[in-house]
Structure 1
Amino acid sequence: MKKAMIYFKYFLSLSIISSLNAQSFKGSASYDIKLAEDVFYFEGTLDFTSQESSFTFKKYEKSRWTRENEQEFKSQTIFTDSLGFAVYHEINKNDLTIRAFCKEANPIIYKDSVNFNWKLLNSEESIIQGVACKKAFVNFRGREYVAWYASSIPLNIGPWKFFGLPGLILQVTDKKGDVSILIKSLNFEKINSKIKKELVGMSMSKKEFNDCLDKEWIKYYNKNNAAIVRIQAEFPDLEITNNNLSKERSSTEIDYKN
């Protein structure tokens, strides 16, 4: 993944950035994001004002999106649509509204209450995409994350479900290397505007959604194994495996009950 220096649509001095909370503005940040269940990176967009934010990713015009890399023998099929996956957040609240998919052509909306107990490591600094950042650490639903945030951009928002730091979150990685999120660009406009919420889908609880994902994964796992048995019976001289496919689905939120 190429790293490009961060680009600002308008030149923003520190004094302008520091006064953002007192002004009417709308911003947009572009990220590359790969969650634990993903094989590839996807483009994500964080739209925000001083009152709310919306992170969208995995948008596609069709209900089934198959990405492949034949050279590396990689493939991933995503159920989505033109609105994609979304995380909507009202600033200074812990409640999120999530739009995601369990089955094809079946968008789901669920509420998620999130509480990040960030540990700030102010002694550690780094330059992320040309911006000076400070380091923070958090345990969140079974994973240990490191985040880099820009205190010079005093917005307590970030990509995906992450928020709550004293500055815009530019990068997030987990200790295992399964999750990777990195900002690519950031734009500000001095306008009075609201975030366009396109949270269309069937409502259910977070537990119901994760139960649905578990059931669909077991169906896929069993179907895959049945296909292997069938092909092996037809071609007994071939050695066919499931490439160590786990019966447990890969998930960014290992402990999704909390």
Structure 2
Amino acid sequence: MKGVNFTTCALAICLFFSVAHAQSPLSIAPYAFENILDTVVFRVSYRLTYVSDTSRANHKKTQELELLLGKRYEQFRVDTEGYDKAYSTPKGSGLNISGDGLAASVFILDRTSGRRQAFIKGIAPSVLSYIETATQPKWEIGIETQNILGYTCQKAVTQYLGRRYTAWFTTEIPVSSGPWKLRGLPGLILKAWDSKHEYEFEATLIENKPKSSTMIKSIKGRYVTTSRRQVNETLGRIHKDLLQAYEMILGFRPQVVGSNASIISVPYNPIELE
């Protein structure tokens, strides 16, 4: 019972601050990694600018993410010094990483098999995971060009997972990859955004044989494996009824001080709409 009481207090505090700041209810502790999968030969830092609340479209947030490219594996995750140390606290994150955007996710792609495994943290301490075939978007490549970080880039557009994306890629880096799940072009994607500008990625740093983050590792610890659709539906339910999510953990529906609401919802604008 002592453990239950401690958990109840911790979740109540987390719930209070989540509601008070009208942010995501997902307060994300750093992942821990184990078992080396590959050595990083190329690293790209991306800045993600995104809208978490569509009713406040002008209020955008940012996250720093990174793409680690090995000979066989790729990993896309939050870009924070010391993040892959088992019990480190990322700089600039306070005690936890914000759970909206993509900071709560890690994507590991095996290019040989085309198998991608995603890890998404839900209500602490649960981790949800799914495995999918890494299908590539069907791109239409244009003739327009622009310079990004000193590289000549071409324009391409696609419809993918419910959003229409414009991307700029460079054949000067002949790696068919990019941020998140955007890939399949004859070069590295350095910039991409959806038509509503709710999710925008822009490369800020490109490193060949980086000195830091030299290993791609698997996720350490226990996690629940399910399907992509089930994960997305679960996250949607959590944001739609936060109290119900906590009820599933605690066994009862918590009361929020100063609120008589029976349902507390939190704005949710996932990158995947289908």
Please, what TM-score do these two structures have when normalized by structure 1? 0.66
Which residue of structure 2 lines up, in the alignment, with residue 4 of structure 1? none
CA contact (8 A) 1:221 1:247 kept: no
Task: Tell me whether 1:115 sits opposite 2:135 in the alignment.
Answer: yes
Give the percent of matched residue pairs that are identical in Structure 1 and Structure 2.
20
Task: Tell me whether 1:32 sits opposite 2:47 in the alignment.
Answer: yes
The structural deviation recorded for 1:116 is 2.8
The structural deviation recorded for 1:79 is 7.6
Which residue of structure 2 lines up, in the alignment, with residue 251 of structure 1? 270
Alpha-carbon spacing, 1:221–1:77, altered in 2? closer, same or farther (3 Å)? farther
Give distance in 1, aligned partners of 2:160 and 2:202.
Answer: 18
Secondary structure of the equivalent of 1:147?
A: strand
How many residues are aligned here? 205
Alpha-carbon spacing, 1:86–1:35, altered in 2? closer, same or farther (3 Å)? farther
For structure 2, the 5+ residue unaligned runs are 1-38, 54-59, 245-252
Match for residue 202 of structure 1 among 217, 220, 224: 224
Alpha-carbon spacing, 1:128–1:173, altered in 2? closer, same or farther (3 Å)? same
Secondary structure of the equivalent of 2:238?
A: helix
Which residue of structure 2 lines up, in the alignment, with residue 157 of structure 1? 177
Which residue of structure 1 lines up, in the alignment, with residue 234 of structure 2? 212
Secondary structure of the equivalent of 2:76?
A: strand
Secondary structure of the equivalent of 1:162?
A: coil
- Give 1:87-166 correspondences, 5 Å limit: 87-91=107-111, 93-166=113-186
Which residue of structure 2 lines up, in the alignment, with residue 54 of structure 1? 75
Task: Give the superposed CA RMSD.
Answer: 3.7
Give distance in 1, aligned partners of 2:203 and 2:65.
Answer: 9
Partner letter of residue 86 of structure 1?
A: V
Please, what TM-score do these two structures have when normalized by structure 2? 0.63
Secondary structure of the equivalent of 1:197?
A: strand
TM-superposition CA deviations, 1:98-124 (whole Å, max 9, x none):
011221221221113342343343411
For structure 1, the 5+ residue unaligned runs are 1-23, 68-75, 232-244
Alpha-carbon spacing, 1:62–1:211, altered in 2? closer, same or farther (3 Å)? farther
CA contact (8 A) 1:79 1:104 kept: no
Partner letter of residue 127 of structure 2?
A: P
